[in-house]
Amino acid sequence: MGRGKIEIKRIENTTNRQVTFCKRRNGLLKKAMNYRSYVMQKLLSSSSPAVAASMNMLTTG
């Protein structure tokens, strides 16, 4: 059984909002970094075949 759907709304209490953000910050930053590297790979791979080959070598080791 999965998690239930929750309503997304602004946390009005400033202290509670800051605590919630501090608890979730690492996960949010990790997702942002993964997204950034994904976009860069797509951008570089579409620029030229030579760049795509170099990028493939770097990412696969």
Q: Tell whether 39 is covered by a domain.
A: yes
The mean pLDDT value for 27-36 works out to: 91
**Measured distance CA(6)–CA(8) in Å, rounded:** 6
Whether residue 52 is predicted with pLDDT greater than 70 in this model: the reply is: no
3-state SS string for the chain: CCCCCCCCCCCCCHHHHHHHHHHHHHHHHHHHHHHHHHHHHHHHHHHCHHHHHHHHHHHHC
Q: Tell whether 31 is covered by a domain.
A: yes
Query: Is residue 33 within 8 Å of 25, Cβ to Cβ?
Result: no
Q: Tell whether 23 is covered by a domain.
A: yes
Q: Tell whether 8 is covered by a domain.
A: no
Q: Tell whether 36 is covered by a domain.
A: yes
Q: Tell whether 9 is covered by a domain.
A: no
Gyration radius of the chain's alpha carbons:
19
Count up the domains in the chain and report the number. 1
Q: Tell whether 1 is covered by a domain.
A: no
What does the pLDDT read at residue 14?
96
Q: What global pTM score does this model have? A: 0.48
Domain of residue 21, residue span: 14-60
What does the pLDDT read at residue 58?
73
What does the pLDDT read at residue 39?
84
